[in-house]
Structure 1
Amino acid sequence: MRSYEELIVEVIDVRGSYYQIGLQQSKVLLSHSHPIQNGFPNLTNKTNVQMAKQLLQFHCPSLVQEMEGLAVGLTQTTDSVIKMYSGYNITFPEMGCTSFVQNGKYIRNYDFSPTLYDARLVFSNPMNGYASVGFSQQIIGRLDGMNEFGLVVGLHFVNSEYHDEGFIASTIVRILLEQCKNIEEALKLIRELPHGYCYNYSMTDQSGQSIVVEASPQKQEEKYGNPLICTNHFEATSMKEKNKKNIQGSVNRKHFLNSLVEKNLTTMATYRHFNNGNSPLFFKHYKEYFGTLHTVIYSPKLLEVIVGIGEDAEPIIISFKDYLDEALTLPKRLTGRIYPHNEDGIE
């Protein structure tokens, strides 16, 4: 029998003012050891706290309010919380992600290491902001998510070699979900935000259009597509020079998804292609920060989320619409299994 590790993702429900949401998140942090706190303080040692605070106050003051509540709950200073969780000038290991948008559904694999994975699916319903659901990173940030208007955004690491002062992608995803109702609004805002590293951002909304924004600290390029495929490399001529030297694994994943386009698969058949442990889209190099941790499908028109944790997971369907209508009891956690690969290698 194959050796596996159990992966537990907590389902978090926060609501109220952003300050109150910060307080609620602090209780979760105090009851669980968070990876950023436990052994990885060097990730944030270059953070310019005052600049981070100034930029957030300008672009998304609600996140400052959330971190103020978080600071009170953790009995820390606001500056220390901003340094730890704002995602400004943070250094972070490479990660992989594959997204596919077809027939109004956004499906995605997130590939990283369980040692730096928040393992939190957060349902947030602030009294003075947009409600959203998504997987968190560094508590404040989001790896992917969907808001109450059906805007879906996910991040895709490209390269950390070309960097500047700015936010990591998980903070940018959160800001877009907080501020924007659709792709048009997201495009306007993403051009204004300071980008710390090179990432792709895949997006869709209730209109059915979808887009990839290729973003470096210096500039951003846009590419619409339907269906849309996004992995971990830039394709715009003006951006290719910022790719890693070896992008073949990312290119291979895109080729595989292109082969699925004409099959026009059902939602669940597509899910199986992403979540099956033998799929070219599923990886097990967890020690090298490249193992698939979750598969998620966001449905903007239905306001529905389908989640699978780990490998060959039975998908869990959750109605975000029912959550917004306060007609849903959320599960406390989602569980799955991962089977770490014994060989080295990153795809």
Structure 2
Amino acid sequence: MKQVYSDIIQYRGNHYDFGYMQGEEIKNSLLLSNRQKQKDGRWRHYLINQDEVTQAIKKFAPGVMDELYGLGDALQLTMEETIREFGGYYLEYGRSGCSIFTSNDYLIRNYDNAPITYEGRYALYQPTDQGYAVIGPTMQITGRTDGMNEKGLTMGYNFVNRMKSSNGFVCNMIGRIILETCASVDEAIDLLKEIPHRHTFSYVLQDKSGKSMIVEASPRIVTAYAGNICTNHFEQLTEENRYRMDESIERQAVMKQQQHTVVNPYTAYQMMNDIDKQVFSKKYGAWAGTIHTAAYFPKEMKAWFALGGDRLPLIFDFNKWLNGENLNVTRIKGGLHSSTAFANVEVV
């Protein structure tokens, strides 16, 4: 069992200052040095058109552009380097797992990936210049793997395919832009139909109305439908699926078989987080092990979070935080059945 943790970042202020604070925080960290080591062998994937990316970010999330300016200044990087590293555009994305289950009152998701790619950062950010406040785990510093905003919109995404990629945003930046700029499921669907996609992903959305929608999005086509279970294959845009989908279909079937046992939010959480329920995955060596289980409650404005399986969730009252009450905890601890630690824990 490998002991791991996520640091909790809490910040209220404008985007530039938020970026600068994060840059100061990570510039001498293991996270940044390990990230550089992983990147060096794949440098060709990190070549960008700076003007194209800048215009795209300013169009969809101008606040994030200011955050990038702050990050770059703190890390003493050029704007081209900053955008390449943290802009969430063009970068390659490794294959991964992930499962999402929703009801009228909550969205629960297992984030499955390789631990070495995981940053171990859980952020609560309330902007004072523009955009909605958001709670959720970070990815590539500026992106979000899942989360909920101050309007009660919650989002999680599932990998489907990285073949036939195109110029566009990667999943975690799309997730961040959804949460920072959209107040409802309908607004998020409109955004997903307009924003350029780098890869093929499902985005599961829910808001305070209880509406739960699955959006199947590729660089070529986007469609949305009502649904409450999502893994790593498309149900409608089947031509966009990978050749091998057996494991994804099996996980979906397990969730369908067990959903009748769900009588309250905690039993739903257990279906996802208990290792013996067979939705939680220990396939860390195949980039498909469950790293965190996150639950979001739009009507209550609460979030649950756990690292690893068979764990009680840490509960966040987002409403209290939005009203100025800071969290007393600074770190979320957990354990994974993996020989590889997070990028923030030890040298890789």
TM value normalised by structure 2: 0.93
Match of 2:122 in 1: 121
Between the aligned partners of 1:240 and 1:31, the Cα distance in structure 2 is 45
Match of 1:77 in 2: 78
2:298 alignment counterpart: 300
Other-structure match for 1:345: none
Q: Return the alpha-carbon distance in structure 2 between the equivalents of residues 307 and 126 of structure 1.
A: 22
1:24 and 2:21 matched: yes
TM-score, length of structure 1 as denominator length: 0.93
CA distance in 1 between counterparts of 2:176 and 2:222 reads 18
* Partner of residue 133, structure 2: 131
Structure 2 gap segments, 5+ residues each: 341-348
The 1:103–1:49 alpha-carbon spacing in structure 2 relative to 1, beyond 3 Å, is same
Tell me how far apart the structure 2 counterparts of residues 265 and 244 of structure 1 sit (CA, whole Å).
Answer: 34
Match for residue 38 of structure 2? 39
Give the deviation of 1:176 after TM superposition. 0.6
Is 1:268 aligned with 2:270? no
Asked if residue 336 in structure 1 is aligned to residue 328 in structure 2, the reply is no
| Aligned counterpart, 2:343 | none
Between stretches 195-204 and 21-30, larger displacement belongs to 21-30
CA contact (8 A) 2:2 2:339 kept: no
Q: Which AA in structure 2 matches 1:75?
A: Q
Partner of 2:66: 65
Corresponding position of 1:187: 189
SS of equivalent to 1:161: coil
**Shift of the alpha carbon at 1:31?**
4.2
**What letter is aligned with 2:107?**
Y
Distance 1:327 1:159, change over 3 A: same
1:327 match: 325
2:308 match: 310
State the distance in 2 between where 1:283 and 1:263 align: 20
Q: Residues 194-213 of structure 1: matches in 2 within 5 Å?
A: 194-213=196-215
Alignment of structure 1 residues 146-165 onto 2, 5 Å: 146-165=148-167
Partner in structure 2 of residue 248 of structure 1:
246
Task: Single out whichever of 162-171 and 201-210 deviates more from structure 2.
Answer: 162-171
Equivalent-residue separation in structure 1 for 2:144 and 2:37 (angstroms): 20
Return the letter of the residue paired with 1:107: I
Q: Which has the higher contact order (CA 8 A, sep 6+)?
A: 2
CA-to-aligned-CA distance 1:212-259 (integer Å, 9 cap, x gap): 00001011011113xx111110111xx211111111111111111112
Cα offsets for 1:106-155 (capped at 9, x unmatched)? 10100011111111111011102210001111001111010000000111
Q: Give the CA deviation at 1:162.
A: 2.0
Q: Report the RMSD for the aligned CA atoms in angstroms.
A: 1.5
Shift of 1:29: 1.1
3-state SS, counterpart of residue 244 of structure 2? coil
Q: Distance in 2 between matches of 1:268 and 1:31?
A: 39
Q: Which consecutive residues of structure 1, in runs of 5 or more, have no partner in the other structure? A: 343-347
Aligned residues of 2:261 and 2:267 also touching (Cα < 8 A): no
Taking a change above 3 Å as real, the CA distance of residues 341 and 12 of structure 1, as seen in their structure-2 partners, is: closer
- Whole-angstrom distance in 2 between the partners of 1:262 and 1:39: 43
Task: Point out 4+ residue stretches in structure 1 off by more than 4 angstroms.
Answer: none
The residue number in structure 1 matching 2:230 is: 230
Instruction: Write the distance in 2 (CA, Å) between the matches of 1:14 and 1:58.
Output: 24
Secondary structure of the 2:249 match is helix
Give the AA of the match of 2:267.
A
Count of residue correspondences: 335
Question: Counterpart of 1:123 in structure 2: which amino acid?
Answer: L
Tell me the SS of whatever aligns to 2:261.
Answer: coil
Partner of 1:14: 11
Letter in 1 for 2:17: Q
Distance of aligned partners of 1:261 and 1:312 in 2 relative to their CA distance in 1, 3 Å threshold = closer
Percent of paired sites with the same residue: 32
Cα drift, residue 102 of structure 1: 1.0
Secondary structure (helix, strand or coil) at the match of 2:19 reads: helix
